[in-house]
Amino acid sequence: MRRLVTDTLIIAERNLVRLPRSPDLLLAFTVQPIMFLLLFRYVFGGAIDTGGIPYVEFLVPGIVVQNIAFGGFVTALGLNEDVHKGLIDRFRSLPMARPAVLGGRTLADVATNLLSMTVLIVTGLAIGFAFHASALDIVGGMALLLGFGYAFSWVFALVGLLVSSPESANSIGFIAIFPLTFISSAFVPVSSMPPVLQAFAKVNPFTIVVDAMRALWIGTPSGNYVWEAVLWSLAILAVFAPLAVARYRRATIG
């Protein structure tokens, strides 16, 4: 168990050390979220009726959740690259804790997600967003967001190990992320969608997490969203972490 912790931290460190050295990655974690935020706020925002809530306040809790989904993406790409370059073989031939390579990778995602989230909140505050919540709720929202992101990183870890190339990781990622994040309450009220999409959006975990974030950050009615979001995060983690670790044990250069 001590081995698992130290090895996980070593791998997390490895994944974070590279960040300042890859300007493209750093852009993906900072400039890209800002771009999305500005686009929605100023291009689409005026046309979206959010029923009395200023769009920027509606948008920020949604866009931080969407961004979390992109954060895990780097895990899928990075793991796939590790498999192809033989680095996974080296790790598997070392006397290290088996789940540490994935655990370290997903842990590093928490740090990058924290970075993106901070960038988004600061930009959001600069363009008119304001929290309507207690400090405890604000921090609770951040924790919920990072927890959900952590669980979702394990989904991407599995994707990265399953697909044959970084290109297919890329396309599978986009095919999954766009419907999940756009057919949700992240950018528009679900009630404005056609019935079929509404049905999907209502059960979509992204909707539940976004609604939980809004409840915590801008004080919209909370219902059971927060607990449901926590449960979703735990369920995703419970299903995908073992699947990814099992897959890792068998991963080969392919």
Partner 1 sequence: MLDAEQAITVRGLVKSYGEVRALAGVDLDVARGTVLGLLGPNGAGKTTVVRVLTTLLKPDAGTATVAGLDVVRDAAQLRQRIGLAGQYAAVDENLTGLENLTMVGRLYGASRRVAKRRGEELLVRFDLVQAGGRPTKTYSGGLRRRLDLAAALVANPPVLFLDEPTTGLDPRSRLSLWETIEGLVADGTTVLLTTQYLDEADRLADSITVIDHGLVIAQGTSDELKDRVGGERLEIRLDDPADAEAAVRALAPMADDLPKAQGVIVGAGVHRRNGVIVEAVRRLSDEGVGVDDITLRRPTLDDVFLALTGHAAEETEDRDEAAA
Q: Per the structure block, which two tokens stand in for 197?
A: 């999409």
Please state, in angstroms and rounded to a whole number, the distance separating the CA atoms of residues 58 and 5. 39
- The enclosing H or E element of 111 equals helix 100-126
Q: Is 246 in the site for partner 1 (CB under 8 A)?
A: no
Residues 26-85 that bind partner 1 (CB under 8 A): 84-85
Piece of 17-25, 46-54, 69-77, 136-144 that binds partner 1 (CB under 8 A): 17-25
- Select from 6, 171, 192, 224 the one that contacts partner 1 (CB under 8 A): 6
Among 51, 52, 194, 254, binds partner 1 (CB under 8 A): 254
Position 17 contacts partner 1 (CB under 8 A) = yes
Between 14 and 189, CB nearer to partner 1:
14
Rg (CA), the chain: 18
Alpha-carbon distance of 219 to 192, in angstroms, equals 21
The yes or no reply on residue 164 touching partner 1 (CB under 8 A) is no
Contact between 7 and partner 1 per CB under 8 A: yes
| Residue 128 DSSP code | T
State which of residues 36, 48, 92, 228 lies at the interface with partner 1 (CB under 8 A).
Answer: 92
Residue 94 has which token pair? 């070392």
* Number of helical (H) and strand (E) elements in the chain, helices listed first: 10, 0
Rounded to whole angstroms, what are the CA distances from 174 to 80, 87, 94, 214? 16, 25, 34, 25
Give the single-character DSSP code of 193.
S
Tell me, letter by letter, the H, E, C secondary structure of 130-141: CCCCCHHHHHHH
Q: Identify which range of 28-36, 43-51, 87-95, 185-193 contacts partner 1 by CB under 8 A.
A: 87-95
Query: Of the two residues 112 and 181, which places its CB atom closer to partner 1 in the complex?
Result: 112
Judged by CB under 8 A, the chain residues 132 through 161 that form the site for partner 1 are none
Question: How far apart are CB 249 and partner 1 at their closest, in Å?
Answer: 10
**Binding footprint of partner 1, residue count (CB under 8 A):** 24
Can you give the three-state secondary structure of 205-231, one letter per residue?
Answer: HHHHHHHHHHHHHHCCCCCCHHHHHHH
Among 31, 35, 54, 86, binds partner 1 (CB under 8 A): 86
Does 21 bind partner 1 (CB under 8 A)? Our answer is: yes
**Footprint on this chain of partner 1 (rule: CB under 8 A):** 3, 6-7, 10, 14, 17-18, 21-22, 84-87, 89-96, 252-254
